[in-house]
Chains A and B, each alone.
Chain A
Amino acid sequence: MIKTIALFALSMFMLVACGEAGDAQLEKNESGETEAVESAASETAGNDGLGVGPVKSVTIGALDAAMAKEGEDLFTKNCTACHKIEAKFVGPALAGVTERRKPEWIMNMIINPEQMVKEDPVAMELLAEFLAPMANQNITEDQARKIVEYFRQVDSK
């Protein structure tokens, strides 16, 4: 019996040691550039349609034509290889996107696609449908806001 306890204690020690290594791994992933392996879908299911990413709140005012023009240029350069406005292509058609999604969601999808397709329920469904993952084109938050303005202009016509 004493032997059993001793062995059990030793095994527990090993398990503890392993547990610590596991924790360290997780911490590194959270602070490093590779995304965490574990997805936290349950936490983000209720993101109120804002998506997952740095954009939490966007103020939308009257349509800014100059901003929309810049957005159109960015869209042509970075997005048109895969997206068309009126037709499904590599990715979904974008006409009406500002009616289907909140501006925060669109911006998070543009600047944080890797996490979105893993954690946001809508983006996860889109990946399952289209299979080609949304490319991260390293667009800044400011640029993404301009692209949203372009989409608003398209949808207002």
Chain B
Amino acid sequence: MKTKLFLILALALSIVLTGCDSDGGKGSKAGMVGSNAAEKVYVAPGEHDEFYAFLSGGFSGQVSVYGLPSGRLFKVIPVFAQDGEKGYGYNEETKPMLETSHGFVPWDDSHHPELSQTEGIPDGRFLFINGNNTPRIAKIDLRTFETTEIIEIPNSAGNHSSPFTTENSEYLVAGTRFSIPITETDVSVKEYAEKFQGMLTFVSVSPDEVGDMEIDFQILMPGFDYDLAHSGKGPSHGWTFFTTYNTEKASTMKEVNASQNDKDFIAAVNWKKAQEYVKAGKFHTMPSNYLNNEYSDHTHMATSKKMTSTRVLIPSECPGLVYYLPTPKSPHGVDVDPSGEYIVGNGKLSADLTVHSYSKMIKAIEAKAYEKEIDGIPVLKYDQVVAGVVEKPGLGPLHTEFDDKGYAYTTFFISSEVVKWKLGTWEIVDRIPSYYSVGHLMIPGGDSRKPWGKYLVSLNKITKDRYLPTGPELAHSAQLYDISGDKMELLLDFPTIGEPHYAQAIAADIIKDKSLKFYKLDDNKHPHAVKNEKDTRVERKGNEVHVYLTSIRSHFAPDWVEGVKLGDVVYFHLTNLEQDWDVPHGFAVKGANNAELLVMPGQTETLKWIPKAVGVFPMYCTDFCSALHQEMQGYVRVHPANANVKLSWGLNEVEKQEK
């Protein structure tokens, strides 16, 4: 008996000990994973994560929502790309969200999620993200986690240095990475140096709960590549900093030709000055075609507004508007520390990391310490603005974020590592490998005035052997590090969707209690909503057939429709009558050339369907809703084009016919 007990206890103990030894002799591949890493990322079933993290979907065009520290994926929010899962960009209500001056553009390359801020601190109202390819900025409402506005950026190409908010989200910015002839016209690419220009756009955000985006003004700049941006904070609030490369103005083989100059520039834009110039009427009105698409939570519909002009400021006409800070060498990220004093230029081809001083910049401007002027923009003297240099930190610096203890963390793409250094002394205090080739990094609040300096996520470009192989294409990897101690510690490795260029994170408490549970049916102002089964009906308007139907667990009303004829265009307007959390109903009909509907409680959505043959076509609920979900189905009968039939429909004992 005693022996048995001893054996059981010994076995239990050995399991515990083995469990703790998570490094388990695997060594190199796990990297520097400490023995208690699993404990630090374990969020027990039913428990909630400490942070929401919003990762860019990159070339998926979307945003994905993760929990930290668990690395669990909660939602993929469709933004710039159609999403069959949610019907986004397929249903009639959201199609206008993807309209542009180029027509319907159902994809983009999303790069930089950016949380709205109040007094320099993420406030959890909105998340913004740029579309790089067909220049746009989108707004996601963090009560619903849905995209509620997309504004197109005219006179721009490659909207990369975007959206990067100001301290109270007065503005989002949109700097062009690919300079173009402005106004847009067909000139020879060989005339790049003479005829191409860059545009910096300032998009205002209304301070109310709508957060309406509008283009306030644009600034016409020399034809460089405006790569990244960050706005000032604290003392430097009122300024936005943009990195430039290709100050050589090369138009071909940029890989070599755009890397010739020892120094490129950080453009410092005084946007408060810009506001004064706009107010004083010093702008040019430029004809500009762009669309502003807005989604309403009340009508559950998006509408496109056509815009026709922008206000453009020209720096040579507006003294004090823009200055150039010389910065080695093709700087990529430009990052402002929490105090607002230091402006880090991550010179991606430079051996050192250059940090400028805001207060020195202001003194240099006052002293007119100019090296030269470019198109009326003063170039400040390098030694008059530089605060310090982090010497030989690594190879290929790209981005820097900050903690709340006076440290900065910079990613190095080529040497594949994160390096921690001290602001003010510029000394390197720690370094840790990333797997592999890190691009951006993210510390929750790490680009704000108040970082939560507990975790750091590296967003990596190369994956190789990190996960089980999935053929030639692999998920991009992200790594979570604990940065609460002196030494950074790798905790977790998790896959991402598309390319997680950049990310933002915020304490979950700021958002989670505001999260909407369902839309109130009473507030539903959709013109085709039906709010009870009595009002469900089918109407013909010429060759259009409108089916006004409802869903509740678990039936559609009506669940049969006859009298549709070949050549008809059928619109199913489905209202979900449920008034409880987490009871969406889906809707699909055989042969539809778009996608399903996924209708939230209290919401109305519309599926367009053009039957191609005579017959009987099933429709059904696609989102498992109850024990009788499989019974949630119905039929639409399609008659020949010349059939002499009336529309009829019904549910159970109710049967109705067109008058």
Interface residues of A (CB under 8 A from B): 1, 3-4, 7-8, 10-11, 14, 21, 25, 28-29, 34, 76-78, 80-82, 89-90, 131-133, 135-138
Contacts and interface: CB of A to CB of B under 8 A. Distances in A.
Contacts of B10: 7
A10 B13 contact: yes
A136 B580 contact: yes
Contacts of A29: 46
Interface stretch (B126-134, B220-228, B498-506, B553-561): B553-561
A90 B47 CA distance: 35
B554 A132 contact: yes
Given A133-B553, A138-B579, 19 more contacts: A7-B10, A7-B13, A28-B47, A29-B46, A76-B532, A76-B534, A77-B521, A80-B533, A81-B550, A81-B552, A89-B652, A90-B553, A131-B628, A133-B626, A133-B627, A135-B552, A135-B578, A137-B578, A138-B580
A110 B168 CA distance: 45
A14 B9 CA distance: 12
Interface string B6-29: 100110110010000000000000
A136 B579 contact: yes
Contacts of A82: 552-553
Given A81-B557, A81-B577, A4 B532 contact: no
Contact of A25 (B46, B532, B579, B583): B46
B367 interface: no
Nearest to B626: A132
B44 A21 contact: yes
A124 to B, nearest CB: 15
Nearest to B583: A135
**Most interface-central of A1, A25, A78, A132 (chain B CB within 10 A):** A132
Contacts of B652: 89
Contacts of B532: 76-77, 80-81
A7 B579 contact: no
Interface residues of B, number: 32
B468 interface: no
A123 to B, nearest CB: 16
Interface in B491-535: 518, 521, 531-534
B575 to A, nearest CB: 11
Contacts of B531: 77
6 contacts: A4-B9, A8-B9, A11-B12, A11-B13, A82-B553, A135-B578
A136 to B, nearest CB: 4
A20 B2 CA distance: 29
Nearest to A127: B627
B253 interface: no
A80 B554 contact: no
Interface in B84-101: none
A28 B46 contact: yes
B5 interface: yes
A98 B445 CA distance: 57
Which 3 A-B pairs rank lowest in CB-CB distance, beginning with the nearest?
A7-B9, A81-B552, A136-B580
Nearest to B550: A81
A135 B13 contact: no
Contact of B580 (A10, A25, A137): A137
A40 to B, nearest CB: 18
Nearest to B536: A81
A124 B531 CA distance: 29
Interface string B615-629: 000000000001110
A132 B577 contact: no
B391 to A, nearest CB: 48
Given A81-B532, A135-B583, A3 B6 contact: yes
A36 to B, nearest CB: 11
B553 A135 contact: yes
B533 A4 contact: no
B6 A131 contact: no
A78 B579 contact: yes
Contact of A14 (B6, B16, B44, B627): B16
Contacts of A80: 532-534
